[in-house]
Structure 1
């Protein structure tokens, strides 16, 4: 299988949203809304276009990952800039082939190259255990 990871382009939007819908449909609750989240994220000021990636398998888009700016606010109102990723998804036809891991790892490396120091994510810990370290520091 020939794998390519690249930035998402506007001509990809429709298929990416269809794959997101397919990947999350009835997964955690009846129906799904992640495809609409992806659609709306692209319009938001916190969307990070240069960290919006698709993964292709044999010239066909089979997944995606998206990032937004985020922050942590301490009890004394000090702000720490971070980024967050999600949704991240792979077409069910391509599950258990390591594509999600490749996509996440690739995007984390690009984020590090661009100077981002912390990534927050929401999800089940067993999905993200391999990514607990960023830049050699435990996060």
Structure 2
């Protein structure tokens, strides 16, 4: 059974390992380490199965400029599941729990760069047609 919970200091090495194993390079693992070091992990959840960390998701604060500058925004990056545990619904559980946690914290907007086929099931839509762009 998969349990989704907030990360603890004891999870840090396993989180790095999950992110490193889930992507072709260690950029995502290093990003999470740097965000944590800077105190910029707004939400960091792990998926645990039988005492093993098998997945991770991170959210960090974003700044909106312009007319919507009053809105609280967060960015989702990355979401990772160990290769042997992919396609078992763990990513869906992580994203759903992460969205709920960010809503509970009062965030108005959430952004990500990701697969256009995967994320619409969670309510994500392209940001550019809505007037948002990265700088």
- Normalising by the smaller structure, the TM-score range is 0.7 to 0.9
Residue 47 of structure 1 corresponds to which residue in structure 2?
A: 41
Q: Give me the TM-score of the superposition, normalised by structure 1.
A: 0.81
1:69 to 2:61 alignment: yes
Q: Alignment RMSD, CA only?
A: 1.7
Tell me how far apart the structure 1 counterparts of residues 63 and 122 of structure 2 sit (CA, whole Å). 19
Deviation at 1:45, TM superposition (A): 4.3
Q: Is the 8 A contact 2:19 2:26 kept in 1?
A: no
- Aligned equivalent of 2:6: 7
With normalisation by structure 2, the TM-score equals: 0.83
- 1:136 matched to which residue of 2? none
Displacement of 1:37 after TM fit?
0.9
Corresponding residue for 2:127? none
- Of 59, 63, 82 in structure 1, the residue corresponding to residue 51 of structure 2 is 59
Q: Deviations over 1:47-84 (max 9, x none)?
A: 31xx110001222110101111102223x6x5133011
SS at match of 1:125: coil
Name the structure 2 match of 1:130: 121
**Uncovered stretches (5+) of structure 1, i.e. residues with no partner:** 26-30, 134-138
Give the unaligned 5+ runs of structure 2. 125-129, 131-135
Residue-pair matches, total: 124
Moved over 4 A (4+): none
Using the alignment, how far apart are the partners of 1:97 and 1:16 within structure 2? 19
